[in-house]
Chain A
Amino acid sequence: MNSYIKNFMKYRFLLVELVKKDITLKYRRSYLGILWTLLEPLLTMIVLTIVFGSLLGNKDPTFPVYILSGRLLYTFFSNSTKAAMKSIRTHSGMIKKVYVPKYIYPLASVLSNYVIFLISLIILVVVAAVLKIKPSIYLLQAFIPLLIIVVMTFGVGLILCTLSVFFRDLEYLWSVALMLVMYTSAIFYTPARIIKAGYGWLLEINPLYSVIMNFRNAIYGQPLDNRALMISLGFSFAVMIIGMIMFVKKQDKFILHV
């Protein structure tokens, strides 16, 4: 264990460099650059509000905040798991030449997306202020779902990344699975509608929904839902441990397959 920490400390500079690389290269050739982290969610929020609010008749004036909070978390989850899954293949050139602890690559993918996600939270604050949602003491609890989702994403990313080295097909399967996750996360509809139709269990088995729900509770000034907290915590640590075991067991074989 001690040698793991020592090794990590030695390569922490590389982790920082990789995170920086992901972020700078993402926006390097665009005119608005890093501003897109704010603009992109704002524009999709407007579109989704028009479609699901005005056209399909959701009259709640804070509906844009509801959509934006859900979508930001989902986008982070989906982008980072996809990036982590491909990270070993993208860095295959380095893996074949220089020894580096390999978990650095999926970890850097998740962290760079997390930085972008945290920056884009600014737009959520702005929209919430414009729509006059008053911050309450419960807002301080927002950091709990925000931490849980990193653990969850890294765990899922590790599992996907290990499997996809051996089965490239997973990259396609995962985009389909992500679509399923999106529709069962209550991003642009209220859960009441789906619960009334008798499909409430769909939301309950989706741990990402538990995170989104608690994040919204914090924003709207309500206490965290304990059940959702337990579900998301349990799931996150389970995938994290499974992911780490899988990754460590298979990492020496990566080089033979990439």
Chain B
Amino acid sequence: MNKVVIDVKNIGMRFNMSTQKVDNLKEYVIKTIKKEIKYNEFWALKDVSFQLKKGERLGILGLNGAGKSTLLKILAGVLKPTEGSYSATGRIVPLLELGAGFEKQYTGLENIYLYGTMLGYSRDFINEKLNEIVEFSELGDFINVPLKNYSSGMKSRLGFAIATVVEPDILILDEVLAVGDAKFKKKCEKKINSMFDKGITVLFVSHSLPQVQRICNRAILLEKGKLIADGSIEEVSALYEEKTK
């Protein structure tokens, strides 16, 4: 149980925010010649390091703009950090804004295959788990209706059902449990809890402190892109509460 699954070393993420937006060739050429393109450097993350062992459930706390989502995007492999490196072992499944990869024209059923393969599952695997996904999403006959007619709750139920059917090694949760009705929320938490028993590693971002305290056993606190605290959930959430006062 003491295997390090995520190793983040001195990660920094820089964004160049150009003062004027340049998106056509003419402007670009003229401004490059005149040396008029100026960038404001902005470090969303600076020198962040931590290690996560198998089975640890890390809450990432911080105020708006602290760099929480940027960190999760780097860990999910979507963004490449400007400096530093990180390594992760095992299958990572990100649950960032449920249903981002859905196609509106497609029915729920077709979307299961589209979204499932996007997460790297094989077709056979999805065939095998199809019933389980449909059942968990509670969509019933709506599974054959185009997604554009779904309510947002239905979409997130489907997204959650697809993403969690695999039992990943590392699960990344970004504010996702804020959607759906209370009953479904409970069901999701139950599902996540059942995965904990199997030794899953979790990274969780939420502004709801009680929820973080319920799910996580360790936390880090970010402020303006810097890691300012790393420790047990009790210590860090006390510090966070002080900051939000």
Contacts and interface: CB of A to CB of B under 8 A. Distances in A.
Contacts of B101: 93-94, 97-98
Contacts of A13: 117, 121-123
Nearest to A168: B23
Main secondary structure of the interface of B (DSSP, over half): loop
18 contacts: A14-B117, A16-B117, A16-B123, A17-B114, A21-B103, A21-B106, A21-B110, A21-B114, A93-B100, A93-B101, A94-B101, A98-B76, A98-B96, A98-B119, A99-B94, A166-B23, A167-B28, A168-B24
A117 B97 CA distance: 37
Interface of B: 15, 23-26, 28, 73, 76-80, 94, 96-97, 100-101, 103, 105-106, 110, 113-114, 117-123
Contact of A94 (B15, B23, B113, B118): B118
Nearest to A95: B78
A11 B120 CA distance: 6
Interface in A160-186: 166-170
Contacts of B77: 99
A167 B78 CA distance: 22
Contacts of B76: 97-99
A255 B97 CA distance: 17
A205 B101 CA distance: 42
Given A17-B113, A97-B97, A167-B25, 14 more contacts: A13-B117, A14-B117, A14-B118, A14-B120, A17-B114, A17-B118, A93-B100, A97-B76, A98-B96, A99-B76, A168-B23, A169-B24, A169-B26, A255-B79
Contacts of B113: 17
Lowest 3 A-B CB distances belong to which pairs? A99-B77, A97-B100, A14-B117
Interface in A15-38: 16-18, 21, 25, 28
B114 A96 contact: no
Contacts of A60: none
Given A167-B24, A168-B24, A169-B24, A96 B78 contact: yes
Contact of B25 (A11, A16, A17, A169): A169
A17 B77 CA distance: 22
A10 B120 contact: yes
* Chain A contact residues: helix, strand, loop or mixed: helix
Contacts of A130: none
A137 B116 CA distance: 46
A21 B78 CA distance: 23
B155 to A, nearest CB: 13
B96 A97 contact: yes
A241 interface: no
Contacts of B15: 256
Nearest to B15: A256
A11 B117 contact: yes
Contacts of A140: none
Contacts of A256: 15
B94 A98 contact: yes
A99 to B, nearest CB: 3
A97 B78 contact: yes
A115 interface: no
Contacts of A93: 100-101
A132 B94 CA distance: 59
Contacts of B78: 95-99, 255
Contacts of B122: 13
Interface in A76-123: 93-100
Which interface residue of B118, B121, B122 has the most chain A CB atoms within 10 A? B118
Interface in A44-67: none
Nearest to A7: B120
Interface string A62-76: 000000000000000
Contacts of B117: 11, 13-14, 16-17
Contacts of A170: 25
A99 B105 CA distance: 23
Nearest to A11: B120
Contacts of A98: 76, 78, 94, 96, 100-101, 118-119
